[in-house]
């Protein structure tokens, strides 16, 4: 694959612009950790929302969607579409709670909510568990996608791709802090969206594909077009609809879709100007992530089935690609090789943008855990703000080296997705309930982490190694959820609750409300003294859940309505978009009601 001079100019311009943005805010971002990791807690909703979307629009996302569509059809995307429920719950129930808490990182929650050494231990452990171990897995998954795209589009070796792609990202992430990440995310998201849409339009109209009508009428494509599995395909309904909708969304921890919010989503909410800006940012993220972005990738994936029906076709077309990286997810990069000069440069720049936006967020987020929740909390509590900023910058470099190295071990994006899902199975319900049930304690958290990890290792590694038939992904997920949930609930009842004083201070800070705190308020009515007035008996969570339901329906209506329009079904498409408008109006009314109830008006 040979890029033209125009392509290289476009790519170089993009890289220079990204560096310039990061360097431009370096001085302000280096003042202290609040600036470096939260950009001064003064960011607007639209910038934060776009940053969230840009982060989840990683280099591996189109590869993952392509892998899913080629093997399981469009309906296979329910494995991640189901997480919309999690996202909308965060929007209307948890966003205000996070911003109200005033934390620097979401891991600070543990010592605000729980008491004693167990709280400190779980905070320190998760700082390394998530900030290093889990974060390195995400960095590796994203780098793997870049490796595959670099091998097809630029004829680069895996090592060359990781080194070249990481250098610019590490520089502006380490220098510019979160403010630099947010501003570059905004710029990179525009480039990424323009590139993905333009690529889809050109690829669908290639002579080899024949245009949209020819693509949709192709005999090899028609079985893959269903948004839901075939009625008689019980296994597909269980794996793609029942498990994700009934179990996965509330029970599994996954970066960007954490039940109750967390990770870099919580970081964005904590850096918002206000509670309303935190809500607006997460709402924008969920609408854009689930409703606006998927179809360009899906259309390219469907076109790839026409051009490269089998993996052997990919192998023959790209003989220089390492066989270890030959998988269905490679088809997205393969289709981009058909783009003309100029557009190819823009699309390659868009993929670099997707790669860099995710890396930069993961690096800053992971470093915030290592610095604030481990180094500053346990190693050197008296460290100056500037020293902690420099430790953060060093951590960013180390995390990138580890993530790039692990990327050379993985072989496909779906493999990484399934591993991460399994490791987090069963922890989600705890993250949802810990804000609203006083009885959950630090040992509940420890148990959920340890058991979910142990079950994942057994099912993914030990079970097959012992010669047993590997379980299906769905069965593994359900088993992990069941075992982990039972374990942490039992430990919750068998261990001492959090100290009353800590429970009272947390309630006064976050004001979660609800029947789950009734026992604490009976023992310590002073927990309510001096709090902002609310009408008697008011609890905003029921209204929030109702808004979550209508918000979810609205986003799905946009997603499926857009699909029906692309499929040429004009009537159904318009009807679905009309449903989306009605849902949006309902959500707006509920949002106003929640705001009035929160303010006591």
Q: Give the other-Cβ count within 10 Å of 525's Cβ.
A: 10
Report whether 361 contacts 268 (CB < 8 A).
no
pLDDT band at 534 (very low <50, low <70, confident <90, very high): low
| 189 exposure class (CB count in 10 Å sphere: 0-12, 13-18, 19+) | buried
Percentage of the chain modeled with pLDDT above 70 = 92
C-alpha span between 84 and 359 (Å, rounded):
23
Reduced to 3 states, what is the DSSP secondary structure of residue 43?
Answer: strand
DSSP annotation of 76 reads G
Whole-angstrom Cα distance, residue 270 to residue 48? 10
Does residue 530 surpass a pLDDT of 70?
no
Among 121-135, 301-315, 535-549, name the most confident range: 301-315
Q: Which 3 state secondary structure label does DSSP give 425?
A: strand
Extract the tokens encoding 244.
């994700």
So what's the pLDDT on residue 420?
63
Q: What is the DSSP string of 109-174?
A: HHHHHS-HHHHHHHHHHHHHIIIIIIHHHHHHHHHHHHHHHHHHHT---HHHHHHHHHHHHHHHHH
Residue 26 confidence class, pLDDT cut points 50, 70, 90 = low
SS (H, E, C) 279-341: HHHHHHHHHHHHHHCHHHHHHHHHHHHHHCCCHHHHHHHCCCCCHHHCCHHHHHHHHHCCCCC
Q: Could you tell me which residues come within 8 angstroms of residue 18 by beta carbon, excluding any fewer than 6 positions away?
A: 168, 172, 184, 187, 188, 353, 356
Q: Which residue has the higher pLDDT, 258 or 280?
A: 280
Query: Residue 134: is its pLDDT beyond 70?
Result: yes
Q: Which pairs count as long-range contacts for 487-492, CB under 8 Å and 24+ apart, including other chains?
A: 487/426, 487/447, 487/448, 487/451, 488/426, 488/427, 488/430, 488/444, 488/445, 488/447, 488/448, 488/451, 489/444, 491/443, 491/444, 491/447, 492/439, 492/440, 492/441, 492/443, 492/444
User: Percent of the chain, pLDDT > 90?
Assistant: 38
Please state, in angstroms and rounded to a whole number, the distance separating the CA atoms of residues 237 and 344: 38
Closest among 38, 110, 127 to 374, alpha carbons compared = 127
Average confidence (pLDDT) over 264-275: 90
Is pLDDT of 412 > 60?
no
Question: Would you state the pLDDT for residue 27?
Answer: 67
Encode burial over 289-300: b for 16+ CB neighbours within 10 A, e otherwise.
Answer: bbbbbbbbbbbb
Asked if residue 363 lies in contact with residue 396, where contact means CB atoms within 8 angstroms, the answer is: yes
Among 55-64, 374-383, 409-418, 424-433, top mean pLDDT goes to 374-383
Among 329-333, 355-359, 444-448, name the most confident range: 444-448
Q: Where are the beta strands (DSSP E) in 415-454?
A: none
Q: With 90 as the cut, is the pLDDT of residue 550 above it?
A: yes
pLDDT above 80 for 24: no
Mean pLDDT of the chain: 85
Residue 61, pLDDT above cutoff 90? no
Q: What is the pLDDT of residue 379?
A: 93
Q: What is the dihedral of CA 412, 414, 419, 421, to 10 degrees?
A: 160
Confidence grade of residue 141 (pLDDT, cut at 50, 70, 90): confident
Most confident of 321-330, 427-436, 450-459: 427-436
Q: What is the pLDDT of residue 486?
A: 94
- Decide if 298 contacts 76 (C-beta within 8 A): no
Which residue pairs, CB below 8 angstroms and at least 24 apart, start in 196-199?
196/62, 196/293, 196/296, 196/297, 196/347, 196/350, 197/296, 198/343, 198/346, 198/347, 199/296, 199/300, 199/335, 199/336, 199/339, 199/343, 199/347, 199/350
Specify the range with the lowest mean pLDDT, choosing from 51-55, 333-337, 407-411, 587-591. Answer: 407-411
- pLDDT, one tens digit per residue, over 145-202 is 777 777 777 777 777 777 777 777 777 777 778 888 888 888 888 888 888 899 999 9
Q: Is the pLDDT of residue 595 over 60?
A: yes
Mind listing the pLDDT tens digit for each residue in 453-497?
Answer: 888 888 877 888 888 887 877 788 888 889 999 999 999 999 999
Percentages of the chain per state (helix, strand, coil), in multiples of 5: 80, 0, 20
pLDDT bracket for residue 91 (50, 70, 90) = very high
DSSP string, 194-225: HHHHHHHHHHHTSTTT--HHHHHH-TTTGGG-
pLDDT at residue 1 in the model? 53
Q: How far apart are CA 83 and CA 56, in angstroms?
A: 13
pTM given for the model: 0.87
Q: What is the pLDDT of residue 406?
A: 76
**Does the pLDDT value for residue 336 go beyond 90?**
no
Which of the listed ranges 60-69, 334-343, 369-378 does the model predict with the highest average pLDDT?
369-378
Tell me, what's the pLDDT at 532? Answer: 58
H/E stretch holding 4 reads none
**Predicted local distance difference test score (pLDDT) of residue 418:** 59
For the cut 80, the answer to whether the pLDDT of residue 583 exceeds it is yes
Report the pLDDT averaged over residues 55-74. 85
The phi and psi torsions of 529 (rounded to 5 degrees) equal: -70, 130
- Higher-pLDDT residue of 171, 26: 171
Which range, 60-69, 269-278, 353-362, is most confident? 269-278
């Amino acid at each position: 694959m040979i890029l033209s001079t125009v392509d290289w100019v476009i790519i170089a311009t993009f890289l220079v612009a990204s560096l310039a943005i990061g360097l431009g805010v370096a001085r302000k971002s280096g003042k202290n950790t609040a600036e470096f990791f939260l950009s001064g807690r003064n960011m607007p909703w639209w910038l934060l929302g776009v940053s969230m979307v840009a982060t989840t629009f990683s280099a591996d996302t189109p590869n993952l969607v392509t892998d899913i569509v080629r093997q399981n059809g469009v309906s296979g995307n329910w494995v991640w579409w189901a997480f919309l429920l999690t996202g909308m719950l965060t929007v209307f129930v948890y966003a205000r709670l996070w911003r109200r808490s005033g934390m620097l990182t979401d891991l600070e929650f543990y010592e605000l909510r729980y008491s004693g050494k167990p709280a400190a231990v779980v905070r320190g452990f998760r700082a390394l568990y998530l900030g290093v171990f889990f974060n390195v897995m995400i960095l590796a998954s994203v780098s793997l996608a870049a490796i595959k795209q670099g091998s097809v589009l630029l004829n680069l070796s895996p090592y060359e791709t990781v080194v070249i792609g990481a250098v610019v990202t590490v520089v502006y992430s380490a220098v510019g802090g979160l403010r630099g990440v947010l501003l570059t995310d905004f710029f990179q998201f525009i480039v990424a969206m323009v590139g993905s849409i333009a690529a889809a339009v050109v690829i669908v109209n290639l002579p080899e594909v024949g245009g949209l009508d020819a693509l949709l009428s192709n005999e090899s494509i028609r079985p893959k077009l269903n948004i839901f599995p075939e009625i008689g395909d019980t296994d597909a309904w269980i794996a793609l609809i029942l498990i994700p909708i009934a179990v996965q969304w509330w029970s599994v921890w996954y970066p960007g879709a954490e039940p109750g919010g967390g990770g870099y989503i919580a970081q964005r909410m904590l850096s918002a100007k206000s509670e309303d800006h935190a809500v607006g940012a997460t709402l924008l993220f969920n609408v854009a992530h689930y409703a606006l972005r998927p179809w360009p990738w899906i259309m390219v994936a469907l076109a790839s089935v026409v051009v490269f029906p089998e993996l052997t076709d990919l192998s023959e077309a790209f003989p220089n690609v390492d066989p270890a990286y030959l998988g269905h997810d490679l088809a997205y990069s393969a289709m981009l090789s058909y783009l003309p000069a100029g557009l190819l440069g823009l699309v390659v720049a868009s993929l670099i943008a997707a790669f860099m936006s995710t890396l930069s967020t993961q690096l800053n987020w992971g470093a915030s855990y290592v610095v604030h929740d481990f180094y500053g909390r346990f190693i050197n509590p008296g460290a100056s703000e500037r020293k902690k900023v420099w430790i953060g910058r060093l951590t960013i470099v180390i995390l990138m080296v580890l993530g790039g190295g692990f990327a050379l071990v993985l072989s496909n994006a779906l493999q990484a997705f399934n591993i991460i899902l399994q490791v987090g199975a069963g922890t989600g319900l705890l993250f949802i309930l810990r804000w609203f049930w006083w009885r959950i304690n630090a040992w509940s958290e420890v148990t959920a982490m340890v058991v979910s990890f142990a079950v994942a290792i057994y099912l993914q590694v030990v079970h097959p190694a012992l010669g047993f038939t590997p379980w299906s992904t769905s069965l593994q997920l359900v088993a992990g959820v069941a075992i982990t949930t039972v374990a942490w609930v039992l430990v919750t009842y068998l261990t001492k609750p959090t100290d009353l004083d800590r429970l009272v201070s947390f309630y006064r800070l976050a004001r979660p409300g609800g029947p789950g705190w009734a026992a604490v308020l009976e023992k310590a009515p002073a927990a309510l003294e001096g709090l902002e007035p609310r009408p008697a008996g008011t609890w905003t969570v029921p209204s929030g859940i109702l808004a979550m339901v209508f918000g979810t329906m609205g986003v799905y209506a946009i997603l499926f309505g857009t699909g029906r329009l692309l499929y040429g079904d004009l009537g159904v498409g318009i009807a679905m978009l009309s449903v989306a408008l009605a849902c949006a109006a309902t959500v707006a009314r509920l949002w106003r009601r929640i705001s009035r109830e929160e303010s006591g008006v």
